[in-house]
Amino acid sequence: MIVYVGLGSNLGDRGAQIRAALDQLGALPGTIVAAVSSVYETAPIGAVEQPWFLNAVARLETELEPRQLLWNLLRIEHALGRERRQLRGPRVIDLDLLLADDLVLDEPGLRLPHPELVNRAFVLVPLTELDPMLVHPETGETMLRHLSRLGSSQVVRPALGQSG
Residues with active-site annotation? 82, 91, 94, 96
Burial (Cβ within 10 Å: 0-12, 13-18, ≥19) of residue 149? exposed
Four-point Cα dihedral 155, 45, 55, 95, nearest 10: -160
Cα separations in angstroms, 17 against 65, 76, 132, 137, 142: 25, 11, 26, 30, 30
* CA pair distance 150, 20, nearest whole angstrom: 30
CA distance 54 to 40: 5
Q: What is the dihedral of CA 49, 54, 60, 65, to 10 degrees?
A: -10
